[in-house]
Amino acid sequence: MTPFFEIRDLVKRFGGLGAVNNFDFQCEEGSIVSIIGPNGAGKTTVFNCITGFYKIDGGEIHFRGDLINDRSPDRITRSGIARTYQNIRLFSNMTGVENILVGMEPHLRSTFFGSMIRSKFTRDEERLAHAEAVHLLEFVGISPEADDLAKNFSYGDQRRLEIARALASKPELLLLDEPTAGMNITESVETMHFIQQLRNELGITIILIEHDMRVVMGISERITVLDYGQKIAEGTPEDIQNNPRVIEAYLGRGAASGITTYAST
Amino acid sequence: MNFKESIRLGLITSGILIFLDLIGLPLTSGSAIVFIFTIVVGLLSFLMLRNRNGERSTLLNASISGSIIGAISSIGIVTITTIFARLQADGIRVNKVFAQILPEHTGALTGLTKVEVLSGASIWPGILKLCILFIVAGTIGGGLTALQSDKTSSRTKQFSSSPYGRYALLVLPFLLFGSFMLLKVEGVQIGGEDENTLGLLLVFLFISTALFAFRGARPGNERKLISIAIVFLILVLPQLTDLFQNAVLSAVIIFVVMGLGLNIVVGYAGLLDLGYVAFFGIGAYTFGLLSAPESFVLVNLPAFGGVTFWSGLPIAILAGVITGVLLGIPVLRMRGDYLAIVTLGFGEIIRLLLLNLRDFTGGPGGVLNIPAPIVFGVDLGNPKGIFYLGMLFSGIVAFITIRLRDSRLGRSWIALREDEDVARAMGINLVAIKLLAFATGAAFAAAAGALYASRQVNIFPDNFTLLVSIDVLSLIIIGGLGSIEGVVLGSIALIGLPEILRSVNEYRILTFGALLVVMMILRPEGLLPSARRQRELRGEAIAESGIASE
All structural domains of chain A with their residue ranges: 20-80+171-265, 91-168
Radius of gyration of chain A (CA): 20
- Report pLDDT for B543: 41
Nearest by Cα to B21 from B121, B108, B87, B125: B108
pLDDT in tens, B180-227: 887 777 666 555 556 777 788 889 989 988 988 888 788 888 889 889
Mean pLDDT, residues A32-44: 91
Please give, rounded to a whole number of angstroms, the shortest distance from the CA of B478 to a CA of chain A.
20
Percent of chain A with pLDDT over 70: 94
Mean pLDDT, residues A202-211: 92
Please give, rounded to a whole number of angstroms, the shortest distance from the CA of B479 to a CA of chain A.
20
| B249, B239 contact by CB (below 8 A) | no
Helix and strand numbers, DSSP H then E, in chain A: 11, 10
The SS3 of residue A5 is: strand
Closest-approach residue (CA) in chain B for A123: B407
Asked if pLDDT for residue A34 goes beyond 60, the answer is: yes
Q: Kindly state the helix (H) or strand (E) to which residue A226 belongs, with its residue range.
A: strand A222-227
Please give, rounded to a whole number of angstroms, the shortest distance from the CA of B266 to a CA of chain A.
16
**What ipTM, to 2 d.p.?**
0.91
For domain A20-80+171-265, the CATH superfamily is P-loop containing nucleotide triphosphate hydrolases (3.40.50.300)
Contacts of B422 in chain A (CB under 8 A): 85, 89, 91
pTM of the model: 0.80
Strand pairing class (A230-235; A222-227): antiparallel
Q: Quick check: B426 and A103 CB within 8 A?
A: yes
Q: Sign of torsion, CA A19 A24 A28 A29?
A: positive
Mean pLDDT, residues A85-90: 92
Angstrom CA distances, B11 to B6, B75, B276, stand at 9, 9, 40
Nearest by Cα to A73 from A56, A94, A97, A95: A56
DSSP for B356-424, please give it.
H-HHHH-GGG-B--PPPPEETTEE--SHHHHHHHHHHHHHHHHHHHHHHHTSHHHHHHHHHHH-HHHHH
The DSSP 8-state label assigned to residue A63 in this structure reads E
d(CA B245, CA B201): 10
Angle between helices B29-50 and B59-89 (to 10 degrees): 150
Contacts of A152 in chain B (CB under 8 A): 539, 542-543
Length of chain A: 265
Paired with A63 in beta bridges are A5, A66
Q: Sign of torsion, CA A89 A91 A95 A98?
A: negative
d(CA A258, CA B466): 72
Nearest to B535 among A106, A108, A149 (CB): A149
- Report pLDDT for A142: 86
Q: Quick check: A169 and B535 CB within 8 A?
A: no
Query: Which positions ≥6 away from A72 have C-beta within 8 Å?
Result: A52, B424
Which of A74, A86, A104, A170 has the highest number of chain B CBs within 10 A, making it the mutation to test binding with B?
A74
Burial of A197 (0-12, 13-18, 19+ CB in 10 A): exposed
Closest-approach residue (CA) in chain B for A97: B411
With a cut of 50, which residues of chain B have pLDDT below it?
53-54, 151-161, 303-304, 540-550
The amino acid at residue B23 is I
Nearest to B425 among A83, A98, A112 (CB): A83
